[in-house]
Chain A
């Protein structure tokens, strides 16, 4: 009973907040609704027993990606009038994309109703369910069965990251403002940073 209540609570909240993401006028509110949607999706995943995926969803999407979203959206100076003008301009394109998506959905569901395509059974599909936790099964899958694909994905991401850094990295002249030499800062001692002066009465100090 309590599972049913929890499921409907999470499901209704996911849908409601997803609607609010596109309905709310303030983009920051949109991002906050999006975060609520992520969070409730994580709740749904916990309900079906995928607690590891749920935690990853919260850590990666809510904890990192959405924060950056929020960061960017908060700093943007958004002109609402222009946004609405853009809405009118892009309206036909939006309708076209929506129609295509709808057609695909109808086709897909229709095809599914007719009967699934016979693709054959994957290897090991008949193997008994192991009494293992989520983490162990995912770990076994990623690091044993599909290790090369997993590593390849990792390398692609690494290359993308290095590329992004190379594209944005600018090295100015060595003594430019903003180029700090941390070692030099740490080596600095009071003897070279401050001077004690004992000016005589009525005399100025030359630094």
Chain B
């Protein structure tokens, strides 16, 4: 995009700057729209599984429900509790929202369609997602109220625990791909399965770690069955209890942007990103733009997130910790050993093993 702005007569630095701003807007604005629609999808899927209708009043099929909700919170009064720590109270939703958007900078939507094609892309994602705990912890502490504080404590412990196993799982993928660059990881999946299937997940050693990754994603984004931070039967509404109006909406948006990010990570790391599922041209699906495949796959994973939400009961907190530390951590370590050994044995690292 820099070349385009240079052709308009800007010098290189200014053109680069303008191109980056334009790129950020091109990602962030559709993302906001996607979040609004995905909340609608979430509620519809949930309703369908519960044999209800779901939102169906505002707009055709209730499509505008999220926008109506947005307008409602926008017009509400922002209430700041008098005992709250004001600065941090206001900062917390902003941090949550910003961090949720920042991670999208390295997500490749198609070959070359990425804002920042850095070669530590996966580490960047890990770093940013480890920041998202701060929004929760800050809001819980600044609210100066018992339930949000309990919720913040739970969230901090939960997210750190599951980040460990996510980190180990990503190491396995990096071992296969040989790069931290997300575009490189997707390209490494081309014709991976028997020269036919464009996905890492078909490998018998990768499928189990994908299952672990998916469950860890649920825990990392605090979705059901791991939504103990906002368990309404125990903690009112968790860390966002004291929030109202736009500060509440920013939490919502950030949460769903994080969920979408995890869905797209599932797509990129295990299911071939923007590549079509099969590497043969039976039907002309190489003519379908890659971004369509990417969005379809991401949407499929979001459907799985909703599906889990509607069907699985909530965990107990000690069970959650047990699953993270006593099951996933040893298993993912074990898989690192096994996968490294397998790759050495099959000469994946250039034969000289």
* Residue among A62, A70, A71 making CB contact with B131, cutoff 8 Å: A62
Contact B13–A1 (Cβ < 8 Å): yes
- With A2-B17, A74-B141 known to touch, is A67 a contact of B123 (CB < 8 Å)? no
1/0 per residue A126-154: CB within 8 Å of B? Answer: 00000001110000000000000000000
- With contacts A51-B118, A51-B120 taken as known, whether A59 is within 8 angstroms of B126 at the C-beta atoms is yes
Q: Are B180 and A135 in contact, with the CB atoms below 8 A?
A: yes
B133 cross-chain contacts in A, Cβ below 8 A: 63, 67
Contact A71 B13 (CB under 8 A): no
For residue A180, CB closer than 8 A to chain B, the reply is: yes
Q: Does A182 contact B (CB under 8 A)?
A: yes
Give the complex CA separation of A26 and B318 in angstroms.
32
A78-107 vs B, Cβ < 8 Å mask (1 yes, 0 no) = 000000000000000000000000000000
Are A52 and B130 in contact, with the CB atoms below 8 A? no
Cβ-defined contact, A63 with B163, below 8 A: yes
Is residue B175 within 8 Å, beta carbon to beta carbon, of the partner chain?
Answer: no
Could you say which residues of chain A place their CB within 8 Å of the CB of B123?
52, 55-56, 59
Give A40 Cβ to nearest chain B Cβ, in Å: 14
B127 in contact with A62 (CB, 8 Å): yes
Measured between C-beta atoms, what is the minimum distance from A57 to chain B in Å? 9
Residue from A2, A58, A67, A182 within 8 A of B156 (CB atoms)? A67
Tell me if B322 is interfacial: C-beta within 8 Å of chain A: yes
On chain A, which size bracket covers the interface?
A: 20 to 34
Would you call A12 an interface residue if the criterion is a C-beta within 8 Å of the partner chain's C-beta atoms? no
Which of A182-205 touch B at CB < 8 Å?
182
**In the complex the two chains form, what is the Cα distance from A113 to B312 in whole Å?**
68
Contact between A35 and B127, CB atoms less than 8 A apart = no
Q: Give A43-57 as 1s and 0s: 1 = Cβ < 8 Å from B's Cβ atoms.
A: 000000001100110
Report whether B153 and A71 are in contact in the complex, using a CB–CB cutoff of 8 Å: yes
Given A70-B137, A74-B141, residue A64 in contact with residue B130 (CB < 8 A):
yes
A-B contact count (CB 8 A): 68
Assembled-state Cα–Cα distance A35/B91 (Å)? 14
> CA–CA, A58 to B102, complex, Å?
14
Asked whether A52 lies within 8 Å of B13 as measured between CB atoms, the reply is no
**Which listed residue, A32, A64, A67, A134, touches B88 by the CB 8 Å rule?**
A32
Closest CB of chain A to B53's CB: distance in Å? 33
Q: Does B138 contact A (CB under 8 A)?
A: yes
Assembly CA distance A55 to B121 (angstroms): 10
Scoring B residues 88 to 117 as 1 if CB is less than 8 Å from chain A, else 0, what string do you get?
100000000000000000000000000000
Type the 1/0 row for A10-40, where 1 means its CB is closer than 8 Å to any CB of B. 0000000000000000101100100100000
Q: Chain B binding site: helix, strand, loop or mixed by DSSP?
A: helix
Interface SS of A by simple majority: helix
Number of chain B residues whose Cβ lies closer than 8 Å to a Cβ of chain A: 28
Binary flags per residue of B253-288, CB closer than 8 Å to A gives 1, else 0: 000000000000000000000000000000000000
B252 is an interface residue with CB less than 8 A from chain A: no
Is A58's CB under 8 angstroms from B127's CB? yes
Interfacial chain A residues near B88, Cβ < 8 Å: 28-29, 32
**Most central of B131, B153, B156 by chain A CB within 10 Å:** B131
| Binary contact track B126-151/A, C-beta < 8 Å → 1, others 0 | 11101101100110010000000100
Q: Give, as a whole number of angstroms, the nearest-CB distance from A47 to chain B.
A: 13
Instruction: Decide if B192 is an interface residue (CB 8 Å cutoff).
Output: no
A55:B124 contact, CB within 8 angstroms: yes
Nearest A residue to B128 via CB reads A58
A58 to chain B: closest residue by CB: B127
Q: Would A35 and B134 count as touching, CB distance under 8 A?
A: yes
- Give Cα A35 to B88, complex, Å: 14
Name B130's contact: one of A63, A74, A133 (CB within 8 Å).
A63
Residues of A within 8 A of B160 (CB): 63-64, 67-68
In the complex, the chain A residue whose C-beta lies closest to that of B180 is A135
Residues of A contacting B85 in the complex (Cβ-Cβ under 8 angstroms): 26, 28
Q: Does B56 contact A (CB under 8 A)?
A: no
Whether B127 contacts A55 by the Cβ 8 Å rule is: yes
B130 and A62 form a contact (CB under 8 A):
yes
**What's the least CB distance linking A138 to chain B, in Å?**
11
A133 to B17, CA, bound (A): 25
Contact call A182/B130, Cβ cutoff below 8 A: no
Q: Is the CB of A2 within 8 A of B134?
A: no
**Interchain CA distance A2-B322 in the complex, whole Å:** 48
B119 within 8 A of A: yes
Within 8 A of A (CB), among B9-56: 13, 17
The answer to whether A58 and B131 have CB atoms under 8 Å apart is yes
Please, how many angstroms separate the alpha-carbon atoms of A144 and B119 in the complex?
A: 22
- 16 of the cross-chain contacts (CB-CB < 8 Å) are A2-B17, A29-B88, A32-B88, A51-B120, A55-B127, A58-B128, A58-B131, A62-B127, A62-B130, A63-B126, A63-B160, A63-B163, A64-B163, A67-B137, A71-B153, A182-B322
B residues engaging A (CB < 8 A)?
13, 17, 85, 88, 118-120, 123-124, 126-128, 130-131, 133-134, 137-138, 141, 149, 152-153, 156, 160, 163, 180, 318, 322
Knowing that A59-B126, A135-B180 are A-B contacts, what are 5 other residue pairs whose CB atoms are under 8 Å apart, sorted by A's residue number?
A35-B134, A58-B127, A59-B130, A71-B156, A135-B120
